[in-house]
Each structure stands twice: as structure tokens, then as C-alpha cells.
């Protein structure tokens, strides 16, 4: 059997060779990877800065404090918790801190672009809380009227906004004003307004997507998607009493010792995101995504919402050429293009098949790709998949070479 080192090298080669289009993945800097693999992994540090349950944490305290300060500076807020191990852990902390079992949560339907931790029945969120879902319009745009109508009809203890597969700007202010109108009109207690910005955190950090502040009460995120950091979670707020509840819920509520090597890497990613080069990078990510989606549309394929404002879009392959998302994912993998199957709104197919694929441009933009490479890639994908859908002979090696040559030219 291969050694772990050999297997890591194989994965390194796959990442080098493949065109990476999974919207939730990216390539972090060597500085971040070095922090992830540093001696900080040796240190136990249960608790928070200057309130640890272990000795020898003086430098750990300095690292975590700096990461918190940099997170607050980057996102222009007052308080942060950098200990959540992942985005779902950050989300769970908010549920546990502010809700009771069976409380009403108004959130985006998974088929509309929501996340498992926003209320899916297989997640703690869907099992422990009463989920009321809003969806999309027929044009693939977040249905603000549906959200408003359901808030007034059912009420909510928390309004959760955010998505894992939605390609348009979310109007956080509009939703904030809907909540204000609901409270003023009904006299009901104000629901907690939570935003999960995991996918667009990098865009927000760069000032190229509206910030959820000052409208949201609490904001969660991951650090490894468009923010281009290590795998981990983050919680932000401007409310001092809320951060106290959040901190108690993260530790000792749902986690034990923090991963200080990852926290240091998070801090480095916040630092990197404050540089002007990062804004240039995010701007290119968006321009690449728009060019990529536009090319598919020009070639006659269906893109949900007919375009994109951010780093991703959903390609409806089933209604474009009759191939399921699963078939497309498996077919593209054979020519070293990595995507993931994804449901569309009101999808006629089950999740493991799905009608579409989610496509993102953040990772390949990190490799240096511009609009030209993405436009050519769209042509390669269309030609390849049309051959498969038509049951025509397809020269796999020929397409693999096209992908290889394009990958080399883009770096």
C-alpha cells in the first residue's frame, strides 16, 4: 500500500494537472500552508486569550488576539470569534447561542442555493429547528417577496440569509428593512438576522459585494473559499452581549481545544485580504465568472439567473443537452476538469443526480487565468459534452490534451 506521503504527492499532482472549477475551493498561499503545518499544532489552548485552561499560552494568546483584530479590521466590525473549525460549526454556534429547539428559522431552500446547515433534514439544523424556506423567482433571483410573505405569515425567531450556490448579489439591506417592517407592523419581537457569507466573504473583504453590516446581527463565514485561506470558520458581530454568548457556545458549548495552527493561518489570510493585490484578484475572479457564464449562454446553454454577479454560476446541463449533473461531473473528470453536480430550483431530479453543475472561477484565477482561458474552456466543455450527449465517438485523449495545453497557458 502507498505511504501517506506518496498519496499526498498524488493529490498534489492532481491539483497541478486538473482545471479546478469547484466554487468552494481555492489555492491558498505557501505562507498559509506553512502556518497550517507549523508547531502550533502541538499546543493545547482551551479557552480564550488570557482565560486559558492551560499554561504556556502567552504566544498563542498573541496569535489569536491578532487574528481577531485583523478579522474585525477586514470586515469593519467590532467583535470576532476565530475558533470555529468550519462553517457548519460556526452556524451551529449561532443556532445554539440564540435559539431554542423547534424555534422558527426562515432560510433559503437548499434547491434554491441554500446550505445543508441552513435547514436540511439531514443536518442538525433541520432536525432541531422548524425550518421555513424561501426560494427563487422564475428568473432564478432570490424571491424577496416570498421571504417577506413567509415572515409575516409564519413569523421567525431567526432569519438566515446566505447561499452555497447562488450567482447574484444578495441585498442584505432590503432584507434588513423587511425585518424592520415586520417588527413595526406586527409588534413581534425582532428575529435574529444572521448572514452566512461563506461564499462571498472574499468579495465582501475586497469591497466588491455589499457587506451584511450594519444590517445583520451576526455574520458567519468560512475562510477557505473566495477568502483564499485555510479550511475553517469565523463569526462576526457588532454586539458585545452577542459575542459573549457566541464565545460561550463555541467553547465550551460545542468545541474543545482550538486549532491554533489554523487560527494563525486564518490571521494570515485576513492580512493578505487587506492588500490591494487581493482586490485586483477578486475583481478578476468576477470578470472571469461573467465571461465564462456569458460564453455558455452564447453557445445556447442555460445558466440559472441568466448570468452571474460573483464567483460562480449554475449550469443547467439537463435542460441544455439532456445530461444530468452527475453524468457531467463524471464525464469532465475523465478529461481533468473538476466540477460538482448541483440541484437547480424545483429540480425534477434527485440530489445525487441533479440537473446542473456548479461552476466557480476563484481557484483558476489564483493560477493566473483570465477571461480568454475561461472562454476557450467553455468551448472545450461544450464540444466534449455535446459529443457525449449525442452518443458520438469522443476522443478522450484529444480533449485531455486540449485541457492540458490550456492549463499550461493559463499559469
Active site positions, annotated: 44, 46, 196, 222, 225, 231
Q: In which element (H, E) is residue 326 found?
A: helix 325-333
Angle at 316 between CA 117 and CA 293, to 5 degrees: 95
- Angle, vertex CA 217, rays to CA 215 and CA 222, nearest 5: 100
Interacting residues of 376 by C-beta distance below 8 A, sequence separation 6+: 406
In whole angstroms, what is the distance from residue 29 CA to residue 27 CA? 7
Separation of alpha carbons 6 and 310, rounded Å: 37
Which residues pair with residue 52 across a beta bridge?
A: 47
Q: Burial, 86: exposed, middle or buried (Cβ in 10 Å; 0-12, 13-18, 19+)? A: middle
Residue 228, all three cell numbers? 483564499
What is the side-by-side order of every strand in the sheet holding 192-196? 79-81, 233-237, 218-222, 192-196, 158-161, 104-108, 130-134
- Facing residues of 134 across strands? 108
**Residue 62 contacts by C-beta under 8 Å, 6 or more apart in sequence?**
none
Cell numbers at 161, concatenated: 440569509
Cell, residue 342: 448541483
DSSP for residue 136:
B
Nearest to 215 by CA among 187, 175, 163: 175
357, 341 contact by CB (below 8 A): yes
Cell numbers for 167, please give them.
450567482
Alpha carbon dihedral 29, 82, 78, 271, in 10-degree steps, equals -10
Amino acid at each position: 500500500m502507498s505511504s501517506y506521503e506518496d498519496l499526498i504527492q498524488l493529490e498534489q499532482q492532481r491539483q497541478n494537472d486538473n482545471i479546478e472549477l469547484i466554487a468552494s475551493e481555492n489555492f491558498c498561499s505557501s505562507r498559509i500552508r506553512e502556518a497550517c503545518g507549523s508547531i502550533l499544532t502541538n499546543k493545547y489552548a482551551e479557552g480564550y486569550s488570557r482565560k486559558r485552561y492551560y499554561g504556556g499560552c502567552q504566544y498563542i494568546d498573541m496569535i489569536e488576539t491578532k487574528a481577531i483584530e485583523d478579522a474585525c479590521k477586514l470586515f469593519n466590525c467590532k467583535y470576532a470569534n476565530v475558533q470555529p473549525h468550519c462553517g457548519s460549526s460556526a452556524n451551529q454556534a449561532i443556532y445554539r447561542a440564540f435559539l431554542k429547539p423547534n424555534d422558527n428559522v426562515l432560510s433559503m431552500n437548499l434547491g434554491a442555493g441554500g446550505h445543508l446547515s441552513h435547514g436540511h433534514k439531514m443536518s442538525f439544523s433541520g432536525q432541531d429547528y422548524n425550518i421555513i424556506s424561501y426560494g427563487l423567482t422564475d428568473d432564478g433571483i432570490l424571491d424577496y417577496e416570498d421571504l417577506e410573505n413567509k415572515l409575516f405569515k409564519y413569523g421567525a425567531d431567526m432569519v438566515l440569509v446566505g447561499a452555497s450556490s447562488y450567482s447574484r448579489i444578495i441585498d442584505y439591506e432590503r432584507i434588513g428593512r423587511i425585518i424592520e417592517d415586520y417588527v413595526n407592523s406586527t409588534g413581534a419581537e425582532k428575529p435574529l438576522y444572521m448572514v452566512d457569507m461563506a461564499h462571498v466573504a472574499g468579495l465582501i473583504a475586497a469591497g466588491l459585494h455589499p457587506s451584511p453590516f450594519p444590517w445583520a446581527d451576526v455574520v458567519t463565514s468560512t475562510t477557505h473559499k473566495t477568502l483564499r485561506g485555510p479550511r475553517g470558520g469565523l463569526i462576526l458581530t457588532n454586539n458585545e452581549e452577542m459575542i459573549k454568548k457566541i464565545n460561550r457556545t463555541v467553547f465550551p458549548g460545542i468545541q474543545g481545544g482550538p486549532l491554533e495552527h489554523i487560527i494563525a493561518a486564518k490571521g494570515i489570510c485576513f492580512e493578505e485580504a487587506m492588500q490591494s493585490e487581493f482586490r485586483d484578484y477578486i475583481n478578476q475572479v468576477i470578470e472571469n465568472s461573467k465571461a465564462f457564464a456569458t460564453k455558455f449562454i452564447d453557445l445556447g446553454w442555460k445558466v440559472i439567473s441568466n448570468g452571474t454577479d460573483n464567483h460562480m454560476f449554475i449550469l443547467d446541463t439537463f435542460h441544455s443537452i439532456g445530461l444530468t449533473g452527475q453524468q457531467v461531473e463524471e464525464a469532465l473528470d475523465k478529461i481533468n476538469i473538476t466540477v460538482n453536480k448541483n440541484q437547480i430550483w424545483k429540480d425534477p431530479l434527485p440530489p445525487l443526480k441533479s440537473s446542473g453543475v456548479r461552476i466557480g472561477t476563484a481557484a483558476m484565477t489564483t493560477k493566473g487565468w483570465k477571461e480568454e482561458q475561461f472562454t476557450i474552456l467553455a468551448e472545450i466543455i461544450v464540444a466534449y459534452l455535446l459529443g457525449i450527449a449525442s452518443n458520438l465517438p469522443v476522443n478522450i485523449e484529444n480533449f485531455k490534451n486540449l485541457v492540458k495545453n490550456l492549463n499550461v497557458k493559463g499559469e
